[in-house]
Amino acid sequence: MEFIQPTSWREALEAKAALPGAVPIRGGTDVMVELNFARSRPQAILDLSRVEELEEWGIEDGLLRVGAGVNYTRIVEEIGDRLPGLAMASRTVGSPQIRNRGTVGGNLGTASPAGDALPPLYASDAEVEVASMDGSRRVPVADFISGPKQNALSDNELISAFYIANADGPQQYSKIGTRNAMVIAVCAFALALHPEQRKVGTCVGSAGPTPIRVEGAEDFIGGVLEEGDLWQSRGAIPDAALRRFGELVAGAARPIDDVRGTAEYRRHSAGVLARRTLGWAWEEYRGVRGAA
Amino acid sequence: MRLRLRVNGEAREAEDVWEGESLLYVLRERLELPGSKNACEQGECGSCSVYLDGSLVCSCLVLAGQAEGREVVTVEGISEGDGLHPVQEAFVEAGAVQCGFCTPGFVVATHDLLRRVPEPGDAEVREALAGNLCRCTGYEKILAAVRLAARRMAK
């Protein structure tokens, strides 16, 4: 096994081009489990923990650009106020030890359907920036994640960053597990209100081969809000509409039975999480909740 | 490969380190620091917790090469000299040590919590220790030890 430790992004891309089989590692919270249990023996490991460019975040083209190496602790502490949905999701990742190492870049690379950071990215139309020696490209997150543990990275590419808009309205994230910490989600749901675009962003996690954006539910609730002029009046969403929103989300989930939960339970919980998070976010938008 | 790092304030070297080896393995098997325990090897139990450049991490999830040139502090290094650190004393006095296997991880995690939050509430303590598993105390005595340590260190 070869161990490659670049100290700049350019060196990292050169190494990946020269050795396309090299497995990138940064926080190590996924890669090391594979190594410790001898589940994988890659020809080379590419350590990205010295690449300072990956640790940076800032505003570019009016969007937040967050380096793939920014860990969950920093997401919560440094940009949690701009991205409340992603911050809530980040706080549910593992433990302090795991959040001090794990990164959104790693979540994107691993592409688990249960990746905690993924649903908030979908709900806010985030884009993934990937790069190679040939240049860089930006891919909408829903196109980037292509299946269970599969993504759109080519052999010579590495994930450099993700782009996401500052929250323009209340956001929520809710996750079901068998306890409060250190669990892989049985089901999760992210919701983002986008008052400027008069849109509601959604995404179910851990209830399908990839996280699933539920456009049918977004369109339905968008219609209810337009029809009642609720964005403007900040009136309450009728209970029947909240319930229907939940049903549409449950109907769009594509869960399986596995060790963590049954498909039936996941489908049901997706609907409950959707209804509740929309209720919470809308109350906050109305100033009823979270305004203090 | 050869690995050079600082552990508990001392420059240390390890020879013939396999490229896929964890920092935990290096600490225990090559540097003769068995305080950090090896239990789950997947970041679930916290018993291998150490500081890496001041950040609390599971040493089983750090690739040895990632620690090259870095500063590591293990449970052996958190007290000065031969005495116990107030967190260690509190664990002993509160009966939070039974078989002792999880204790080094809890001690380091508690140390990290109390340097960040000197007077944590119960919810903060539970969140901070959520990455550490114990199979014998039932946790109540561990929570009591954290409260005791916090009271003493606040003085």
Question: Is residue A93 assigned to a domain?
Answer: yes
CATH for the stretch B86-154: 1.10.150.120
Looking at residue A94, which CATH number applies to its domain? 3.30.465.10
Contact A101 B22 (CB under 8 A): no
Contact B56 A100 (CB under 8 A): yes
The C-alpha atoms of residue B84 and residue B80 are separated, in whole angstroms, by 8
**Chain B CB contacts of A1 below 8 Å:** 18-20
Look up residue B117 and give its two tokens.
Answer: 């939050």
Query: Residue B115 is inside which H or E element, if any?
Result: helix B103-116
For chain A, helix (H) and strand (E) counts, in that order, are 12, 13
Q: How distant, in Å, are the alpha carbons of A64, B38, B95, B102, B129 from that of B136? A: 46, 17, 11, 9, 15
**Chain A CB contacts of B72 below 8 Å:** none
Single out the residue in A132, A164, A196 at which a domain terminates: A164
Residue of chain B minimizing CA distance to A51:
B66
Nearest-CA distance B23 → chain A (Å)? 11
Entry pTM: 0.96
Q: Stretch A193-219: mean pLDDT, rounded?
A: 97
The C-alpha atoms of residue A238 and residue A52 are separated, in whole angstroms, by 49
The DSSP secondary-structure symbol of A277 reads H
Question: Is residue A258 assigned to a domain?
Answer: yes
Using one digit for the tens of pLDDT, what is the confidence trace for A44-98?
999 999 999 999 999 999 999 999 999 999 999 999 999 999 999 999 999 999 9
The C-alpha atoms of residue A57 and residue A116 are separated, in whole angstroms, by 20
Residues A131 and A198 in one domain: no
Q: Evaluate if residue A37 carries a pLDDT over 70.
A: yes
Residues A184 and A282 in one domain: yes
Question: Is residue A159 assigned to a domain?
Answer: yes
Interface test with B, best of A32, A41, A54 (most B CBs within 10 A): A32
Residues A63 and A160 in one domain: yes
Write out residues 15-44 of B within 8 Å (CB-CB) of A. Answer: 18-20, 22, 41-44
Contact B62 A2 (CB under 8 A): no
Question: ipTM beyond 0.90?
Answer: yes
Write out residues 73-102 of B within 8 Å (CB-CB) of A. Answer: none
Question: Is residue A12 assigned to a domain?
Answer: no
Q: Kindly report the backbone phi and psi dihedral angles of residue A152, in degrees, each rounded to the nearest multiple of 5, phi listed first.
A: -90, 15
Residues A205 and A186 in one domain: yes
* Residues written for chain A: 292
- The 3-state secondary structure of A36-93 reads HCCCCCCCEEEECCCCHHHHCEEEECCEEEEECCCEHHHHHHHHCCCCHHHHHHHHCC
Domain ranges of chain B: 3-77, 86-154
| Residue A290 pLDDT | 54
Helix (H, G, I), strand (E, B) or coil at A268: helix
Contact B20 A47 (CB under 8 A): no
Residues A159 and A177 in one domain: no
- Decide: A124 and A87 in contact? Cβ < 8 Å: no
% residues pLDDT > 70 (chain A): 99
Radius of gyration in angstroms for the set of CA atoms belonging to chain A, rounded to a whole number: 19
Contact B43 A94 (CB under 8 A): yes
| Residue A180 pLDDT | 86
**Chain A CB contacts of B53 below 8 Å:** none
Of B1, B43, B127, the CB nearest to A98: B43
Looking at residue A216, which CATH number applies to its domain? 3.30.390.50
Nearest CA among B69, B150, B125, B46 for reference residue A100: B46
Nearest-CA distance A285 → chain B (Å)? 28
Question: Is residue A109 assigned to a domain?
Answer: yes
Whether B53 and chain A come into contact, CB under 8 Å, resolves to: no
Nearest-CA distance A103 → chain B (Å)? 13
Tokens 């809710």 belong to residue:
A174
Contact A28 B56 (CB under 8 A): no
Using one digit for the tens of pLDDT, what is the confidence trace for A226-278?
999 999 999 999 999 999 999 999 999 999 999 999 999 999 999 999 999 99
Look up residue B140 and give its two tokens.
Answer: 């109540």
**Chain B CB contacts of A5 below 8 Å:** 65, 68
Query: Residue A18 is inside which H or E element, if any?
Result: helix A9-18
Residues A192 and A157 in one domain: no
- How many separate domains does chain A show? 2
Beta bridge partners of A64: A59, A164
Contact B66 A36 (CB under 8 A): no
Nearest-CA distance A6 → chain B (Å)? 11
Q: Evaluate if residue A292 carries a pLDDT over 50.
A: no
Task: Give A181: exposed, middle or buried? Use CB within 10 Å, 0-12, 13-18, 19+.
Answer: middle
Whether B3-77 and B86-154 share one fold: the answer is no
Residues A155 and A215 in one domain: no
Contact B68 A5 (CB under 8 A): yes
Contact A3 B19 (CB under 8 A): yes
Single out the residue in A164, A192, A217 at which a domain terminates: A164
| Cβ count near A33 (within 10 Å) | 18
Nearest-CA distance B41 → chain A (Å)? 6
pLDDT-based confidence at residue A195 (cuts at 50, 70, 90) = very high
| Residue A289 pLDDT | 64
Q: Evaluate if residue A291 carries a pLDDT over 60.
A: no
CATH for the stretch B3-77: 3.10.20.30
Question: Is residue A37 assigned to a domain?
Answer: no
User: With a cut of 50, which residues of chain B have pLDDT below it?
Assistant: none
Using one digit for the tens of pLDDT, what is the confidence trace for A164-189?
999 999 999 999 999 888 999 999 99
Contact A101 B42 (CB under 8 A): no
Single out the residue in A107, A135, A164 at which a domain terminates: A164
Domain interval for residue A260: 171-286
The C-alpha atoms of residue B35 and residue B33 are separated, in whole angstroms, by 6
The C-alpha atoms of residue A282 and residue A196 are separated, in whole angstroms, by 14
| Residue B80 pLDDT | 85
